Amino acid sequence: MKVRYKPNVTVACIIHAPNIHVPNDDKFLMVEEWIEGEQRFNQPAGHLEANESLISACEREVLEETGLSLTPSGLVGIYQFSASAELSFLRFTFCVQVDEMQDTIPQDKDISACHWLTLEQIEAKATQLRSPLVLDCLRDYLHHFQNRNTYSLELLNSTRLTIAPSGNAC
């Protein structure tokens, strides 16, 4: 019997502080973490937990990793990534725009710091990014931002999160 493919479901949030006065100086909030002794950068992100909607998972991860209480305004995209034959991810990337860079206080012990960085600074850290999805999602977001559109959160139908009674899963 073939082993069933079960990717990890993750959420991430692009937090954007646009600079309307200086082109190319927009800032994005990135979290710094150490994984197996190596410094890595990512958007605030994490795994979907049981009985949690994708949107509430995003809000929880942002709060845990940055100390900010933010609600995503849109969905940037849904991404599939295989790190190996045994480890794969289905990533839902959200976005929120803030008027100004806010102070952060990571509550998650795995996050060593938060940084407001420009796209150029993030690109310079390409070898230190948690995965290739970090830049892929950011570039998709910028395309959406320039065209003034992202996917509506209604696409996810989070208000209809339904938990099946025991033994009635489909």
Q: How far apart are CA 69 and CA 71, in angstroms?
A: 7
Instruction: Tell me whether residue 47 is in a domain.
Output: yes
Higher pLDDT, 165 or 130: 130
Q: Which domain holds residue 104?
A: 8-159
Instruction: Tell me whether residue 147 is in a domain.
Output: yes
Instruction: Tell me whether residue 165 is in a domain.
Output: no
Number of domains in the chain: 1
pLDDT given at position 160: 62
Q: How far apart are CA 119 and CA 139, in angstroms?
A: 9
- Total-model pTM: 0.89
Instruction: Tell me whether residue 92 is in a domain.
Output: yes
33-76 residue pLDDT tens: 999 899 999 999 999 999 899 999 999 999 999 999 999 999 99
Q: For position 61, which CATH number holds? A: 3.90.79.10
Instruction: Tell me whether residue 114 is in a domain.
Output: yes
Instruction: Tell me whether residue 3 is in a domain.
Output: no
Instruction: Tell me whether residue 53 is in a domain.
Output: yes
Instruction: Tell me whether residue 166 is in a domain.
Output: no
